[in-house]
Amino acid sequence: MADWSDCLNFGISIAKQASEVVLSGFREQKEVKLKSSPADLVTETDQRVETILISAIRARYPQHRFIGEESVAAGERVHLTDSPTWIIDPIDGTVNFVHGFPLVAISIAFTINKKTEFGIVYSCVEDKMFYAQRGRGAFLNGKALNASGQEDISRCVVVTEIGAERDDLALSTMTSNIFRLLKLPIHGIRALGTAAVDMCQVATGGADAYYHIGMHCWDIAASAIIVQEAGGVVMDTDGSDFDMMSRRVIAASSPAVANRIAEVIQTFPCRRDDEDPGKCICVAAGVNGPQII
């Protein structure tokens, strides 16, 4: 089995270096642009951090490939191959970043043969470095992480996000899912504004589950392996195996909790990250229900 520790350590070092740009931008006025919705924002700092990360990795590992949030926003296709690939979210929590809400993260995952070998999530303002390597455990600032192991859904704190999808079908589905979970009951719902940090709370045991529909592979690829290496479980919202391209995820303290959430929540259609936009069937919310367009 190949040892990717050198890549992991390099990823940690460049995440820390790039965080200086994030922290500098955090204290400044920002020029903000909209992408897909009023909740899907990008700043010059997002783009600059991604450029810094990819340039540093490419200089050291010139044969490696990349999937970056801002590169995809600029028109690049999401194409995960068997080649060594870095999946990068330069600022996870851009809305938080714009508003000065102190939970913003750099998220970096590394895959080969389409399997994630390690993940790094650096919560910059908090100076919290989450990381995990396949088969070697998960850590926060060097200290081992363990999920709570909770199996009783009624004793759980669950994390989720409303996300950037703001059409009627998406909003009604997401808000009704919160209602369904609260009526089980559970202890509570939390939303931190960054999927990567949300999922890492499951790895720490501070939260017992996270679920979401509509995020992207760069939001969750790194944190998924961190949860798994901390002893948690990660799956699709329908209970099937986790697929980072599906834009659906449940991360939980135990299979019992994950399966109970999968039984309760509903989903809405999302185009896969790796789907050709020219070949997809789009679904929109109409007054009489979902409409094919």
Secondary structure class of 93 (helix, strand, coil): coil
Q: Are residues 66 and 125 in the same domain?
A: yes
Instruction: Look at residue 281 and tell me whether its pLDDT is greater than 60.
Output: no
Active site residue 237: no
Alpha helices in 230-288 (DSSP H): 255-264
Whether 292 is covered by a domain: the verdict is no
Q: Would you call 241 a catalytic residue per the annotation?
A: no
Confidence of residue 41 (pLDDT cuts 50, 70, 90): confident
pLDDT at 286 over 60: no
Q: Output Rg (C-alpha) for the chain, integer angstroms.
A: 18
Rounded distance, CA 121 to CA 128, Å? 8
Residue 274 within a domain? no
**Of 93, 109, 144, which closes a domain?**
144
In this structure, the strands spanning 138-140 and 128-133 are antiparallel
Residue 224 has pLDDT above 50, yes or no: yes
Whether residues 253 and 127 fall in one domain: no
Domain membership flag for residue 293: no
Say whether both 111 and 173 belong to one domain: no
The number of folded domains in the chain is: 2
Q: What are the CB-based long-range contacts (under 8 Å, 24+) for 29-37?
A: 30/97, 30/98, 32/98, 35/73, 35/164, 36/164, 37/164, 37/165, 37/166
274 is catalytic: no
One-letter amino acid of 81: T
Give yes or no: residues 157 and 140 share one domain: no
175 and 104, same structural domain?
no
Query: Residue 31: its pLDDT value, please?
Result: 78
| 162 found inside a domain | yes
Same domain? 138 vs 157:
no
Is residue 227 domain-shared with residue 161, that is, in the same domain? Answer: yes
Residue 251 forms beta bridges with which residues? Answer: 210, 234
- Mean pLDDT, all residues of the chain: 92
Averaged pLDDT, 261-272: 96
Q: Determine, yes or no, domain membership for 290.
A: no
Question: What local confidence, expressed as pLDDT, does residue 232 receive?
Answer: 98
> Phi, psi at residue 222, to the nearest 5°?
-70, -45
Q: Which of 85, 94, 237, 267 is flagged as catalytic?
A: 94
Q: What is the pLDDT of residue 277?
A: 64
Whether 244 and 130 share a structural domain? no
Distance of CA 199 to CAs 30, 130, 202, 252, Å?
Answer: 27, 11, 5, 9
CATH number of domain containing 240: 3.40.190.80
Q: Phi/psi zone of residue 228: left (φ > 0), alpha (ψ -120 to 50 degrees), beta?
A: alpha
- Which of 100, 126, 144 is the endpoint of a domain? 144
Whole-number pLDDT of residue 1: 56
Answer whether residue 15 is part of any domain: yes
What's the rounded mean pLDDT across residues 20-35? 85
Mean pLDDT of the 260-276 span: 94
- Residues 12 and 137 reside in one and the same domain: yes
130 and 176: one domain?
no
- 158 bridge partner residues: 189, 209
Dihedral, 164, 168, 174, 179 alpha carbons, nearest 10: 150
| Selected catalytic residue, list 14, 54, 88, 91 | 91
SS3 221: helix
Contact between residue 217 and residue 114 where contact means Cβ atoms under 8 Å apart = no
What would the pLDDT profile of 180-216 be if each residue is shown by its tens digit?
Answer: 999 999 999 999 999 999 999 999 999 999 999 999 9
Active site residue 92: yes
Residues 157 and 211 in one domain: yes
Q: Tell whether 76 is covered by a domain.
A: yes
Residue 128: pLDDT over 70: yes
User: In this predicted structure, what is the pLDDT of residue 32?
Assistant: 85
Q: Is 168 a catalytic residue?
A: no
pTM greater than the 0.75 cutoff: yes
pLDDT surpassing 70 at residue 89: yes
Query: Residue 93 falls within a domain, yes or no?
Result: yes
The answer for 214, left when phi > 0, alpha when psi is -120 to 50, beta otherwise, is: left
Q: What residues make up the domain containing 132?
A: 5-144
For the segment 99-109, the average pLDDT, to the nearest whole number, is: 96
Give the domain CATH number at 21: 3.30.540.10
Q: Which of 144, 162, 190 is the last residue of a domain?
A: 144
Q: Of 50, 89, 198, 273, which residue is the catalytic one?
A: 89
Distance of CA 111 to the CA centre of its chain: 15
Confidence of residue 278 (pLDDT cuts 50, 70, 90): low
236 annotated active-site: no
Q: Region 7-17: what's the mean pLDDT?
A: 98
Structure confidence at residue 284 as a pLDDT band (50, 70, 90): very low
Instruction: Specify whether 248 is located in the same domain as 119.
Output: no
User: Is 88 a residue whose pLDDT tops 50?
Assistant: yes
pLDDT at 285: 36
Please write the tens of the pLDDT for every residue from 141-167: 999 999 999 999 999 999 999 988 889
The mean pLDDT value for 72-97 works out to 94
Angstrom distances, CA of residue 74 to CA of 71, 135, 183, 220, 285: 5, 35, 42, 20, 27
CA gap 100, 70 in Å, rounded: 21
The active-site residue, picked from 46, 69, 70, 198, is 69
Q: Which of 46, 50, 219, 273 is catalytic?
A: 219
| Per-residue confidence (pLDDT) for residue 289, from 0 to 100 | 40
46, 50, 70, 92: the active-site residue: 92
